[in-house]
Amino acid sequence: MYRIATLVFLMLASTLLYAAQEAPGTSVADEEIIPLPDTQLFLPLQADPKEPRFYVSALNVSSDIQDTTVAAVGFGENFGIMRRGTSPNRGWQVGISAAVFAQFDLETSDDLMNADYIIGIPVTWRHDDWSGRVRLYHQSSHLGDEYLLRVQPERVNLSFESLEVILAHDFSSLRIYGGGEYLLRHEPSDLAEGLFHVGLDWRDNEPAFHFSNLASARWVAGVDVKRWIQNDWATQYSVKAGLEFSPLRKGNNSTRRWSLLAEFYDGASPYGQFYEDNLRYLGLTIQLGL
């Protein structure tokens, strides 16, 4: 454990040193300190089910427990606190990330099945086509009261702190990323600690169509893959694809985007209390973000 913690610390230190290095032709004195930046240096992962964002999904779920229709909702954001950089494409940023992910069983009485609460501190950086995120976060997961009374499942007190490191590179409209996580403290005590995480995001450079002079729509897609020791390195696939709508004018209060996406998932459940169960779902989601 100590060797892994040391390795992660060295990766974090290297990332910060790289992010803080002087850009060609500039000095540290030229770097601007920006409080509460309204954009992100490291863009959210398109298909990661645990990425903090606002969304609502209707999913047809087949799992080890039951086959049902689920409404999944998320309320979350990566919020920038302070940025230091020489341009929009170079610098580093410290922020806060927080999210609540909840799932409701629509085929019973809309019972709340599971809720995951996440709060973390991300340090992100960008240097032209390279970007990265180091995030320390806490997650706790809870079953809904109605679900507990109706199903009477074996409850798990799932709670952990995890250190995540993700490195990404942009290739025009395509972004490839990779990294992993290490659970620093966890309950139950036998929870496996290592997780491998890779994926890619694609955003078409050209709009598919326009809505008069107000907004444009472009095709987007993402594939997110995780392998966790807890599941004997079994692969978890998450895929999303559809249309992203954004304003044409990039002035004040116009950086938001919303998306209408089809989504597919196959693997160990991303819902905290059911992490030992396998599930597959297919559905539609509407999500909002920067």
Q: Which pLDDT tens digits describe the chain residue by residue (290 residues)?
A: 444 444 544 455 455 445 444 444 444 445 688 898 878 899 999 999 999 999 999 999 998 888 999 999 999 999 999 999 877 788 999 999 999 999 999 987 788 999 999 999 999 999 999 999 999 999 999 998 888 878 777 778 889 999 999 999 999 899 999 999 999 999 998 888 899 999 999 999 888 888 776 788 999 999 999 999 988 888 999 999 999 998 876 554 456 789 999 999 999 999 988 888 999 999 999 998 76
User: CA geometry: angle at 254 spanning 250 and 255, to 5°?
Assistant: 85
The pLDDT of residue 249:
63
The total of other beta-carbon atoms located within 10 Å of residue 133's CB is: 26
This prediction has a pTM of 0.86
| C-alpha separations of 233 from 229, 266, 289 in Å | 5, 14, 31
The pLDDT of residue 85:
81
Give the CATH number for residue 19: 2.40.230.10
The pLDDT of residue 25:
47
User: CA geometry: angle at 202 spanning 245 and 283, to 5°?
Assistant: 65
Count of structural domains, the chain? 1
Two tokens, residue 176: 């490839």
- Contact criterion met (CB below 8 Å) for 240 and 48: no
CA distance 266 to 282: 9
Strands (E), the chain: 32-35, 54-63, 67-87, 90-105, 111-127, 130-143, 159-171, 174-187, 194-203, 209-211, 215-228, 235-247, 257-268, 278-289
CA-nearest of 174, 74, 166, 156 to 124 is 166
Single-letter amino acid code for the residue at 214: L
The pLDDT of residue 29:
41
Two tokens, residue 202: 């694609």
The pLDDT of residue 211:
77
The pLDDT of residue 276:
87
Range of the domain at 84: 2-289
Which residues pair with residue 109 across a beta bridge?
none
The pLDDT of residue 266:
97
Q: Three-class SS of residue 14? A: helix
CA distance 45 to 231: 22
Q: How far is CA 68 from the centre of its chain?
A: 25
The pLDDT of residue 2:
41
- Contact criterion met (CB below 8 Å) for 32 and 257: no
